[in-house]
Amino acid sequence: MSEIPPNLRLTTDSGRGPDAADVFAILVREHGERLLAFLRASVPSSSVDDIFQDTVLVAWRRLPDYDRTRPFGAWMRGIARNLVLDHRSKMGRERPTDDAILDAIVRRAEAEDRGDREEFRAKLVRLEDCVARLPDEYRTVIHLSYRLDAPIARIAAEVGANVEAVKKRLQRARAMVATCMESKGATT
Amino acid sequence: MNIEDDRFAHEDTANDRWIGALIHVQRHDTPERVDQLVDRAVVRLRSESATETVHTAGSIGISGTSVAPHRRRWDWRTPVAAAASIAIIAGSALLFSPQPASADSILHAAQVAESGSGDRRYALELVFPTRAGEADAQAPRAVGTLDIRDAEHVRLDIRFQDGRTMTRGTDGATGWTVDPRGDVLSMPTDARWPRFIETPEGDLLADRLDVLLADIGAHYQIVRCDKGGAMQICATHDDSDFRGPESIELTIDPATKLVTRAALNFGGPPEGAPRRAVRAGDAVATTGSGRPDAMTTRVARDDRPEGGPGGPEGGRGPEGGPGSEGGRGPEGGRGPERGPEGRRGQAGGPGPDGGRGADRRPEPRVVIIERSAVPNGAFDAAWFSPPSAPVRKAPPPPPPSGPGGPGGPSGPGGRGPGGGPPPPPPRGDR
């Protein structure tokens, strides 16, 4: 199956070959970053790891239901999407606020299924290059927000702007990165 | 706003979030972090499979259908179907990996599996060096159990061949021990444990088997050494700068990758045989009586970062019974109470017993740790707390040439009050 990169080292037991969990783990690793990207776009950061774990566990339990004609990543993401909806209902529709937004995020994630993990990583490198090319005022807020996980209020204090201005600046910075990515031929 | 406007708004929002997510992944979700997340999930699913019980993760909708939280027995058809579903994938994978599992990959899997937590019981067997002329079969032994919930809830019970016992525990709030007189004594919750159940870094071995496994990967040469159908790894120390057992034999459950048995061989020739030269900086701690304690005699580890300014316990712990305490114990072994040089008792220091240096019994040369069942599946909450009353009477004093005894469960001070003034100890290499 093309799902398994030949360079992956397998964990096996007793020389009998990889057990089910070993192979399952390999597949999850292959799609891990893309699944995390989908979750980060869909739920608050504080919930991402938990939902990631739950997605893996539910996928394991539902493995007999997996249709091998479908991409494994898309199947996992389907499970994750349901968990995101479940999470949203628990959190009082915290975010995303609309199913249509979630569907739009899913479409962006689906676009990543065309490549493999390495291609996705290469795309992230291009994205980092785009961030590096941002004007200082935008690069700074991106750095504070995503590298240091600083809350908006702290960023505002740091850059001497109000909270709304920082939110807007972050939004503009992301839009500029998106434009840069498109110019590099990487669809977002 | 019309429908078209809404659609564009949704797309813009999704775009914005997607780019934000990609930036986040690029900066935080490194491949190593993703691997860790997957490893943690795999440990959980293996654990669930092992208990044959499935817990659904809340109200989860799959394929558009939501199922209420429920608990069900693992249907035997599920793993069969799961195995069948990925059999083709596995077959393909094997094409790329025809060789049997390497010791490295097994060790890594075990490390992941051991990173979990929960109530655990380990049966301990300690084998002490024989004396000159004694056969291996005559080697003094001790057996016991090490019960662990987490790093803060630990209980150690050891019974020595001569009938003495050693009981120590901590429930997170109170560290405690039972001295030879049967009195319950308090001690710091972060007191050092006997070295044979510690990793070289000072973590409790059975609590941090994953740390031990990481050490093995870093400082030992490892090979598969399966015996009798059991998956085993044999590790041989190959890093002179690293203090640890000379060799380790691990038995690993092929299904769960948990370590079911670890035999740690600290080397050490039989008593009376030529001994390995002591490294610079090593200092052998002994009991206050001058008799090194079998349980706690060890090389001084004076440069532990916890070693703080000298305190009253630096050379002698408050629990340091007359000549009965180990060379290194909680008060003497770590923490701010330690003397500036982390002083501990010195070998052969004259004590009330007359300095029986010649009778000293080194620490165990072999320690076997075997995972065993926890009674009723979990320990009672009070199990890790100190008993309210003495649990036993003080044992008779050890015979001069008998097997090394527990050396005072508390093993606190570097020496008992009878110990002579300690000469300046050399710095240890830890």
- Residue-wise pLDDT tens digits, B236-250: 887 777 777 888 899
Highest mean pLDDT among B46-55, B182-191, B394-403: B182-191
Residue B198 has pLDDT above 50, yes or no: yes
CB–CB contact B14 A41 (8 Å): yes
Q: Please name every residue paired with B248 in a beta bridge, in sequence order, or none if there are none.
A: B235, B264
Q: Please name every residue paired with B185 in a beta bridge, in sequence order, or none if there are none.
A: B177
Beta strands B175-178 and B153-160: pairing type? unpaired
Mention every residue, 6+ apart, whose C-beta is less than 8 A from residue B32. none
Whole-Å CA distances, B261 to A46, A105, B44, B141: 38, 48, 21, 18
How close, in Å, is residue A174 to chain B by CA atoms?
6
- Between CA A128 and CA B249 the distance in angstroms is 46
How close, in Å, is residue B209 to chain A by CA atoms?
19
CB–CB contact B21 A37 (8 Å): yes
SS3 assignment, position B247: strand
- Between CA B7 and CA B21 the distance in angstroms is 21
Tell me what the mean pLDDT of segment B281-289 comes to.
32
A18 preceded by cis ω (within 30°)?
A: no
Longest Cα–Cα distance in chain B: 97
Map tokens 């039989």 to a residue. Answer: B270
DSSP states along B345-403: --TT---TT---GGG---S-SEEEEEEEPPGGGS--GGGGSPPSS--SPPPPPPPTTS-
Closest CA in chain B for residue A21: B42
CB–CB contact A104 B10 (8 Å): yes
Q: Is the separation of the CB atoms in B207 and B219 below 8 Å?
A: no
Residues of chain A with pLDDT under 70: 1-19, 91-97, 186-188
Tell me what the mean pLDDT of segment B92-98 comes to.
41
More confident residue, B210 or B262: B262
CB–CB contact B18 A98 (8 Å): no
Whole-Å CA distances, A149 to A37, A146, A156: 16, 5, 13
Q: Supply B326's token pair.
A: 């180990």
- Between CA B249 and CA B234 the distance in angstroms is 5
Q: Which domains does chain A have, with CATH numbers?
A: 1-116 (1.10.1740.10), 133-188 (1.10.10.10)
Give chain B positions within 8 Å (CB) of A24: 42, 45, 86
Give chain A positions within 8 Å (CB) of B97: 9-10, 12, 18
How close, in Å, is residue B188 to chain A by CA atoms?
35
Tell me what the mean pLDDT of segment B96-120 comes to.
69
Tell me what the mean pLDDT of segment B364-379 comes to.
85
Task: Tell me the residue type at B123.
Answer: A
How confident is residue B287, by pLDDT bands cut at 50, 70 and 90?
very low
Q: Supply B10's token pair.
A: 């949704």
Total length of chain A? 188
CB–CB contact B34 A32 (8 Å): yes
Whole-Å CA distances, B221 to A34, A177, B253, B263: 37, 48, 21, 16
Q: In terms of C-beta density within 10 A (0-12 exposed, 13-18 middle, 19 or more buried), how is residue B111 classed?
A: buried
Tell me what the mean pLDDT of segment B67-83 comes to.
38
More confident residue, B277 or A126: A126
Chain A to chain B Cβ contacts (< 8 Å)? 235
CB–CB contact B22 A82 (8 Å): no
Give chain B positions within 8 Å (CB) of A152: none
Give chain B positions within 8 Å (CB) of A39: 21
The average confidence (pLDDT) of chain A is 82
- Between CA B306 and CA B141 the distance in angstroms is 32
Map tokens 């090194």 to a residue. Answer: B292
Tell me what the mean pLDDT of segment B13-29 comes to.
91
Give chain B positions within 8 Å (CB) of A13: 101, 106, 109, 231, 254-255, 257
Rg for chain B (alpha carbons), in Å? 26
pLDDT at B48: 65
How confident is residue B281, by pLDDT bands cut at 50, 70 and 90?
very low
More confident residue, B200 or B419: B200
How close, in Å, is residue B125 to chain A by CA atoms?
27
Give chain A positions within 8 Å (CB) of B38: 25, 28-29, 32, 56
Task: Tell me the residue type at B199.
Answer: T
- Between CA B4 and CA B72 the distance in angstroms is 46
How confident is residue B340, by pLDDT bands cut at 50, 70 and 90?
very low
More confident residue, A172 or B314: A172
* pLDDT tens per residue, range A105-152: 999 998 888 888 888 988 999 999 999 999 999 999 998 898 777 888
pLDDT at A141: 92
Q: Please name every residue paired with B430 in a beta bridge, in sequence order, or none if there are none.
A: none
Total length of chain B? 430
Suggest the residue from B23, B52, B223 to mutate for an interface test with chain A (most A CBs closer than 10 A).
Answer: B23
DSSP A184: T
Q: Is the separation of the CB atoms in B334 and B189 below 8 Å?
A: no
The model carries a pTM of: 0.41
How close, in Å, is residue A154 to chain B by CA atoms?
18
CB–CB contact B42 A24 (8 Å): yes
Nearest by CB to residue B86, choosing from A20, A32, A109, is A20
Q: Supply B277's token pair.
A: 């030269």
pLDDT at B202: 56
How confident is residue B231, by pLDDT bands cut at 50, 70 and 90?
confident
How close, in Å, is residue A122 to chain B by CA atoms?
10
Residue B328 has pLDDT above 60, yes or no: no
Closest CA in chain A for residue B93: A4
Find, among B300, B338, B265, the residue nearest to B427 by Cα. B300
Give chain B positions within 8 Å (CB) of A100: 6-7, 10
Nearest by CB to residue B26, choosing from A57, A60, A128, is A128
CB–CB contact A28 B18 (8 Å): no
CB–CB contact B90 A175 (8 Å): no
3-state helix, strand, coil in chain A (%, to 5): 70, 0, 30
Nearest by CB to residue B23, choosing from A105, A121, A142, is A142
- Between CA B333 and CA B196 the distance in angstroms is 14
Give chain A positions within 8 Å (CB) of B254: 13-14, 16
- Between CA B258 and CA B391 the distance in angstroms is 34
How close, in Å, is residue A160 to chain B by CA atoms?
22
DSSP B295: T
pLDDT at B75: 40
How close, in Å, is residue B246 to chain A by CA atoms?
25
CB–CB contact A146 B23 (8 Å): yes
Suggest the residue from A146, A152, A169, A181 to mutate for an interface test with chain B (most B CBs closer than 10 A).
Answer: A146
How close, in Å, is residue A124 to chain B by CA atoms?
6
pLDDT at A147: 79
